Amino acid sequence: MDTISKEEGSRVMSRIRSKDTKPELVARSWLHRRGFRLHSKSIPGHPDVALKKHGAIVEARCCFWHCHEGCAEARVPKSNVRFWKEKLKRNVARDAKNEDLWRDAGWNGIRAIGSSEG
């Protein structure tokens, strides 16, 4: 049973960003302060950060959206369970596909994991 209306749920979901999230901005800022320059627009899957000089990709991933095993934040919401299970399953599949693409192209991956997109 939903605790909010469909309209309110839609409004809330529309405010969730897919890029420039707080964990991503923190990771990019930390790297930039240390002299790294960031490039990623042309790489398949559009990683959060790509360090061309070092052949490394950094992904800022929160536990909810990327379903990290053993984390309390990696859970399916109690309402609209079917939708969320399918959505989160697609996220995990997309992550795996992108990691394969990057590995095949010679990139090394690093995951910066945070517990919340907050």
What pLDDT score does 118 carry?
Answer: 45
C-alpha 55/C-alpha 63 separation (Å) is 25
* Low-confidence winner among 1-10, 33-42, 79-88, 108-117 (lowest mean pLDDT): 108-117
pLDDT in tens, 102-117: 999 899 877 766 655 4
pLDDT in tens, 21-78: 777 788 778 888 887 767 667 888 888 788 888 888 888 777 777 777 777 777 888 8
Q: What are phi and psi of 67, to 5 degrees?
A: 50, 55
Secondary structure (3-state) at 42: coil
- The model's pTM: 0.65
Find out whether 47 and 106 touch, Cβ atoms under 8 Å: no
